[in-house]
Structure 1
Amino acid sequence: MTTTTTTPADPASSWPDDLSAFCFEVPHSAESLLFESAKGIRLSDAAGRSYLDALSGVFVTCFGYDCEPIVGAVTRQLRTLPFNPPLHGTNRAALELARALVDLAPPGITAAKLVNGGSEAVEAAMRLARLHHRARGNPGKVKILSYYHGYHGATFGSLSLTGRPDVTRFGPGLPGVVHVWPPDCLESFWDVPPEKSGALAASMIERTIEAEGPDSVAAIVMEPVIHLRGMAIAPADYLARVREVCDRHGVLLVFDEIVTGFGRTGAPFAAQTFGVTPDILCVGKGISGGYAPLAAVLMAGHIADALGESGGPVSFAPSHTYAANPLAAAAGLAAVTLFREGGYQERITELAAYTEPRLRALAESHGATLRAVGLLYGVKLTGAAAEGAERLGERVASACLRRGLIIRGQDDWVVLAPAFVTTTAEIDEILGILGEALEEVRGAGR
């Protein structure tokens, strides 16, 4: 299948001559793009080239780049109340969004704290966990467990939870963080069979809590689907086992659902997909559809109780100037309302049913394997090129980008997360380009 993208101009010619004032989020390179506009799931850059976005930006733009209900809601809010004095009150959109989030969440979740991004949500969850135990007379429960090879954000606390060697250049992380191995790592590093990895990983978590001392451990923070392990999906019953371990030792269970929330796994949250309710959910990315910086911390009633007075409204300070900002809240409320009332759960199910078998067949035809849940896909590329080939994921993603397709690739995997508004014709186009890229990389490794 050929692409419908235009022939690009020289990318370098589209950039300003002086880039010294701007600090890029990732290193500037020949593949860095200067985006100018977008519509549907396609973006255009300053060099005149079109890109098909199969990653929803970065798991964010679930409704595409020109969703009129969200654009309209933000525009109306901008004209009415763009900001409110946060030390003196809040705004109606924030109040309504909090209620909508609680209604969307699993039973038992009773309160929502609005923040600006996923990293802030994780930081708030760490603070909440310690505060919860302190309020119940256990101030020594301060340690936080998290995965090796997980990812939880870019602020110092969230980076401390991120158990990856590529973040150690900032020096030692926060004290009191203890890393544990997830099931996928047991399978990859020690050849533990998938049918046994969940039970063993849950047992190792319990042994870690016992070794650290249950009276010192506040919480465990985990991704139900681990993004930077190529979308490693929790084995059956694993999360339920971890829930039991946490309950036995008085440890809070925190799900980092920044990637998996708001329909990405099929249900509103992965907690519902896997049938396990944590004490705290950190949510973001798709919460606003990409139309404003926004995230939230959703908490169970027994967590919110520590923040309220005699059952009254909860409060959690110190906070952030732009938390519960009216513009962001308006975008979030419109996006959540659209998800709930626009038939998107059915649409996700239908699009996933179309995409998964075709992507699985494509992956297997190139010696790769597929991990899939809802509209979240990880393609493990081991075997897709010669043994010992490095940076397979980056090479495949780069080959896709040259063909006008945006995905993410790293190590031995690539991931895709199509927007909910993607058509089947666009899925076919995405898979055609991915197939060409896999063939290129596979051929280079022969």
Structure 2
Amino acid sequence: MTTVDLAPLSVWPQDLSAYCFEVPHTDESLLFTSGKGIRLADAAGRTFLDALSGVFVTCFGYDCEPIAEAVTAQLRTLPFNPPLHGTNHAALELARGLVDLAPDGITAAKLVNGGSESVEAALRLARLYHRAHGNPDRVKVLSYYHGYHGATFGSLSLTGRPDVSRFGPGLPGIVHVWPPDCLESFWDVPQESSGALAAAMIERTIEAEGPESVAAIVMEPVIHLRGMAVPPADYLARVREVCDRHGVLLVFDEIVTGFGRTGQPFAAQTFGVTPDILCVGKGISGGFAPLAAVLMAEHVAAVLGESGGPVSFAPSHTYAANPIAAAAGLAAVTLFREDGYTGRVGTLAAHVEPRLRAVVGGRGTVRALGLLYGVKLAGGDTGAGERLAAACLRRGLILRGQDDWVVLAPAFVTTPGEADQILEILGDALDEVCGGGR
């Protein structure tokens, strides 16, 4: 048997950034070498507690044996199939499993490779749906200012943030609207009325654009890049009503919120609102393979063919419904469904949330939903989030910080003791960056 050994790190080129443009690589950069549970090790021998689940991905930890075994078995049996000529059992069973987890009314799944691709597919599907119903002029898509939907051209066009303008004009027909959190932050609208006002503004926007030209609205139920902004309780139901009145498809981008994060399989169930299209990814494979999916209500799936049902439809990319990725996803879905992870998420969330609020104290506002946490730091310092994340990293804790917020998303397998360690480090970092206040 031929084996390939990597050269020792000491003989690698000093300037690795000359070879890799994914991230700027310097002497201070992390070069991860292994992971176990919720801990990562790097080439310098340091260990880190991961309080972000990679990036909302490794919900079962870095060494989940059932998923690893499923991937290994699939690798040895069928690593790939010609997607133009057929599919595979793992893909079909995963599609069925996802539909079973989804809200009532969702009947079909299309497997794709990542979250951005899922959103792209939703865009195409929304336009196709209206064309199939004799409304080819319904091509406009609404999305949030300050939302985030991915890094491909269409998904980036939906991302209403000024920092993406460096790539030039986005996809035509994208119209941005304001979410409740922005109304609260920028115009001091009280939270008890921000949901109703934001929903009314969406309706006015649809009317101003012309309902006959609007295909869909794409939104994150909880907005990640606003520091996990959780909407008012009645907001999403109001938006559902607006969409129904004007024949506009409602698309939830649940790449971050889906697959158990909010305490239910999807945020749609947490908020009691079923969209027409549901984009899911990240934790869907536990981080063991690139994988995402588009879930569809029956009336939307009907435009793709007469068969309908909880199946994976014809592929649009070479690696869509890949057997190895599907095997990882099927193992993760099975684990989530059969090992009581909904209850485990709730138990861990009940342990973390009050302790997190105590650690933050008056230094910020905590947003919490299941195992999604955002801390909006007080004072409006738009660099405080990055400084706090850096202070945590120096202490061996990984979370995400940007603008005036940080976010945490502990893995489902985090123990109470590990959660307490995470919060202790966060508290020390807050003392450094924001001063005392616990």
Stretches of structure 2 that go unaligned for 5 or more consecutive residues are 1-8
Q: 1:311 to 1:371 in 2, by over 3 A?
A: closer
Q: Does the aligned pair in 1 maintain the 2:17–2:24 contact within 8 Å?
A: no
Tell me the SS of whatever aligns to 2:424. helix
1:208 aligns with 2:200: no
User: Which among 168, 172, 190 is matched to residue 169 of structure 2?
Assistant: 172
Tell me the SS of whatever aligns to 1:248. helix
1:398 aligns with 2:384: no
Once the two structures are superposed, the pairs formed by residues 355-370 of structure 1 within 5 Å of their partners are 355-365=352-362, 367-370=363-366
Once the two structures are superposed, the pairs formed by residues 19-168 of structure 1 within 5 Å of their partners are 19-29=16-26, 31-168=28-165
- What is aligned with 1:376? 372
1:427 aligns with 2:393: no
Q: 1:322 to 1:198 in 2, by over 3 A?
A: same
**Please, what TM-score do these two structures have when normalized by structure 2?**
0.95
Matches of 2:64 and 2:188, distance apart in 1: 46
Tell me the SS of whatever aligns to 1:233. coil
User: Which among 270, 280, 298 is matched to residue 273 of structure 1?
Assistant: 270
Matches of 2:343 and 2:396, distance apart in 1: 29
**Please, what TM-score do these two structures have when normalized by structure 1?**
0.93
Tell me the SS of whatever aligns to 2:245. helix
1:362 CA displacement? 1.0
Matches of 1:313 and 1:195, distance apart in 2: 39
Tell me the SS of whatever aligns to 2:123. helix
Tell me the SS of whatever aligns to 1:232. coil
The Cα offsets for residues 386-413 of structure 1, whole Å up to 9 and x where unpaired, read as xx64410000000000000000000000
Q: 1:430 to 1:140 in 2, by over 3 A?
A: same
Once the two structures are superposed, the pairs formed by residues 192-271 of structure 1 within 5 Å of their partners are 192-271=189-268
Matches of 1:351 and 1:306, distance apart in 2: 41
The Cα offsets for residues 328-382 of structure 1, whole Å up to 9 and x where unpaired, read as 00000000000000111110010000000000111124x2110000000000112
The Cα offsets for residues 130-178 of structure 1, whole Å up to 9 and x where unpaired, read as 0000000000000000000000000000000000000000000000000
User: Which among 390, 393, 399 is matched to residue 407 of structure 1?
Assistant: 399
Matches of 2:309 and 2:378, distance apart in 1: 54
Q: Does the aligned pair in 2 maintain the 1:116–1:322 contact within 8 Å?
A: yes
Q: Does the aligned pair in 2 maintain the 1:102–1:298 contact within 8 Å?
A: yes
- Amino acid corresponding to residue 407 of structure 1 in structure 2: L
Matches of 2:400 and 2:119, distance apart in 1: 23
Between the aligned residues of both structures, percent identity stands at 83
Q: 1:410 to 1:31 in 2, by over 3 A?
A: farther
Matches of 1:72 and 1:354, distance apart in 2: 31
Matches of 1:94 and 1:191, distance apart in 2: 48
The Cα offsets for residues 402-445 of structure 1, whole Å up to 9 and x where unpaired, read as 00000000000000000000000001100000001000002499
Tell me the SS of whatever aligns to 2:192. helix
1:317 CA displacement? 5.9
Matches of 1:438 and 1:426, distance apart in 2: 18
Matches of 1:312 and 1:440, distance apart in 2: 55
Q: 1:210 to 1:14 in 2, by over 3 A?
A: farther
- What is aligned with 1:333? 330
1:234 CA displacement? 1.2
- What is aligned with 1:284? 281
Q: 1:202 to 1:57 in 2, by over 3 A?
A: same
Q: 1:15 to 1:167 in 2, by over 3 A?
A: farther
Tell me the SS of whatever aligns to 2:16. coil
Stretches of structure 1 that go unaligned for 5 or more consecutive residues are 1-11
- Amino acid corresponding to residue 399 of structure 1 in structure 2: A
- Amino acid corresponding to residue 237 of structure 1 in structure 2: D
Matches of 1:315 and 1:293, distance apart in 2: 16
- Amino acid corresponding to residue 179 of structure 2 in structure 1: P
- Amino acid corresponding to residue 426 of structure 2 in structure 1: L
Give the superposed CA RMSD: 1.8
Q: Does the aligned pair in 2 maintain the 1:376–1:416 contact within 8 Å?
A: yes
- What is aligned with 2:181? 184
The Cα offsets for residues 7-33 of structure 1, whole Å up to 9 and x where unpaired, read as xxxxx9797424254333333355421
Q: Does the aligned pair in 1 maintain the 2:92–2:311 contact within 8 Å?
A: no
User: Which among 395, 406, 410 is matched to residue 418 of structure 1?
Assistant: 410
Tell me the SS of whatever aligns to 1:51. strand
- Amino acid corresponding to residue 417 of structure 1 in structure 2: A
Tell me the SS of whatever aligns to 1:305. helix
- What is aligned with 1:9? none
Matches of 2:12 and 2:399, distance apart in 1: 23
Q: 1:14 to 1:118 in 2, by over 3 A?
A: farther
Q: 1:350 to 1:438 in 2, by over 3 A?
A: same
Tell me the SS of whatever aligns to 1:320. coil
Q: 1:19 to 1:103 in 2, by over 3 A?
A: same
Deviant stretches of 4+, over 6 Å: 12-15, 312-315
Matches of 2:335 and 2:278, distance apart in 1: 21
Q: 1:409 to 1:332 in 2, by over 3 A?
A: same
- What is aligned with 1:303? 300
Matches of 1:218 and 1:316, distance apart in 2: 22
Tell me how many residue pairs correspond in the alignment. Answer: 429
- Amino acid corresponding to residue 167 of structure 1 in structure 2: V
Q: 1:93 to 1:317 in 2, by over 3 A?
A: closer
Matches of 1:360 and 1:311, distance apart in 2: 46
- Amino acid corresponding to residue 276 of structure 1 in structure 2: V
